[in-house]
Every structure is written in structure tokens, then in C-alpha cells.
């Protein structure tokens, strides 16, 4: 996976702040917002059609993302199917949306190979589901709950308390922010993280419906 902005020279903290600020500005552009809106509608239609799915390597397969299971009245099976349905809708829906945005140059800072590998990595990582839903839950609870810090995310990602929060920033936040799934700000002393515009659009217009 590409090294998102690091180089041997300069202040790494400053480079991170500049990167996050640039990404925040990029995803607020009117043209990008319009592209996301169209891609979100197309993603929902693709999920409803249920004719294709994504393989582990990111290729599209002519197989439904949700194969129709046999009928059952078993409440345990129904519960587990519901869980599986939500998980598959999230994974395949997010992969579809991110790939559409890639083809429309929303991730123009990334080369074709870098973008594809990053989308596969983030789109198939179970932690992406957790972080997007956690950020959205906070956003729905109100402005005072919509942002979290690196220490909170360190626990959410199951890192040891001895791990420096900067590792969360470097290993987790940069890829998520690059794809518009989180927005990261630095107030001079602490990083704050909240839902990114792509995550909000996906959750509200694709996953939740």
C-alpha cells in the first residue's frame, strides 16, 4: 500500500496536518459532492439489482452479492441471516461506491494500482464497518458526540494502551481519510475524528435504506 504523504524530510506531524486539511477541502468541493451523490444513487440501484458481487481481489463477478437462501421460520437462522445480510450489504455496497468514485477521479491523488489496492484493503476490512457505524452513531447523537480522539480510536481498533496514538493516525486514519470515510482535524494539541462525507452519504443513502 502506498505511503500516504510521508517522506524522510520535514516535520511528520505537520505533513499529517497538511494532508488531512487538503483532504477535507477536497471532499467539500461542489464537483466532488455532486459526483458522490450520483455514485451513491447508482450504488443503491446496483445493490437492489443483486446481479453482481465483488471477489476478494476486487474484481466484479456476475454473481449476486446476496444469494437467495432457502425459506425458514427458524428465528435463530433468521437472526443470523439478518446479520449476514447487513454485513454483505455494507462490504459489497462500499466496494461498489468506492470503485465508482475511483473511476471518476475522486481519488486522483492515488495511482490506479494504489487506489485499487487501498479500496480492497479498506472495503474488505471488518474494522471499516465498525468505525463507520461508530462515527455515524456519534453524529446522530448530536454535535457533542460526533468527534472522537486518537485515544478512543486506539481502543476501538483494539491496540494496546501502550501503543502511541500516532500509530492509529498513521496506520488507520490516513487510508480512511484518503477515501473520504473520516474527516480529521488538528486543533494544535489534539486530533479529532468524525464521519467523512463519503461515509455519511453511504450510510444514509445506501446502507441504511
The predicted model gives 98-114 an average pLDDT of 87
The predicted model gives 155-168 an average pLDDT of 89
pLDDT score at 171? 87
The C-alpha cell at 182 is 473520516
The C-alpha cell at 20 is 488531512
pLDDT score at 12? 53
Q: Residue 66 pLDDT more than 70?
A: yes
pLDDT score at 96? 97
pLDDT score at 92? 97
pLDDT score at 187? 86
The predicted model gives 127-147 an average pLDDT of 91
Does the predicted model carry a pTM greater than 0.75?
Answer: yes
pLDDT tens digits, 172-208: 898 999 999 999 999 888 899 999 999 999 999 999 8
Neighbours of 65 (CB within 10 A): 21
Q: How far is CA 163 from the centre of its chain?
A: 23
Helices 12-27 and 30-49: crossing angle, nearest 10°?
70
User: What percent of the chain stands above pLDDT 90?
Assistant: 72
**HSE value, Cβ hemisphere, 13 Å, CA-based, for 190:** 9
pLDDT tens digits, 109-122: 777 778 889 999 99
Give the total residue count for the chain: 209
Q: How far is CA 201 from the centre of its chain?
A: 11
pLDDT score at 3? 35
| Separation CA 68–CA 57 (nearest Å) | 23
| Separation CA 135–CA 15 (nearest Å) | 24
Average pLDDT of the chain to the nearest whole number: 89
Residue whose cell numbers read 444513487: 41
**Which residues contact residue 119 at a Cβ distance below 8 angstroms, ignoring those fewer than 6 apart?**
58, 95, 98, 99, 102, 179
Neighbours of 25 (CB within 10 A): 10
Amino acid at each position: 500500500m502506498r505511503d500516504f504523504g510521508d517522506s524522510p524530510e520535514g516535520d511528520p506531524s505537520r505533513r499529517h496536518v497538511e494532508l488531512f486539511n487538503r483532504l477535507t477541502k477536497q471532499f467539500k468541493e461542489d464537483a466532488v459532492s455532486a459526483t458522490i451523490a450520483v455514485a451513491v444513487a447508482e450504488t443503491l440501484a446496483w445493490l437492489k439489482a443483486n446481479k453482481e458481487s465483488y471477489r476478494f481481489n476486487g474484481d466484479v463477478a456476475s454473481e449476486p452479492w446476496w444469494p437467495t437462501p432457502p425459506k425458514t421460520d427458524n428465528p435463530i437462522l433468521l437472526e443470523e441471516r439478518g446479520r449476514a445480510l447487513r454485513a454483505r450489504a455494507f462490504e459489497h455496497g462500499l466496494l461498489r461506491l468506492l470503485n465508482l468514485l475511483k473511476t471518476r477521479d475522486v481519488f486522483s491523488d492515488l495511482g490506479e494500482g494504489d487506489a485499487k489496492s487501498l479500496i480492497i484493503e479498506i472495503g474488505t476490512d471488518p474494522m471499516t464497518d465498525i468505525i463507520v457505524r461508530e462515527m455515524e452513531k456519534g453524529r446522530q447523537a448530536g454535535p457533542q458526540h460526533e468527534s472522537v480522539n486518537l485515544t478512543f480510536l486506539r481502543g476501538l481498533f483494539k491496540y494496546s494502551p501502550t501503543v502511541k496514538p500516532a500509530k492509529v493516525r498513521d496506520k488507520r486514519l490516513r487510508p480512511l481519510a484518503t477515501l473520504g470515510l473520516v474527516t480529521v482535524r488538528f486543533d494544535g494539541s489534539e486530533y479529532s475524528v468524525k464521519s467523512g462525507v463519503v461515509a455519511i452519504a453511504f450510510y444514509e443513502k445506501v446502507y441504511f435504506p
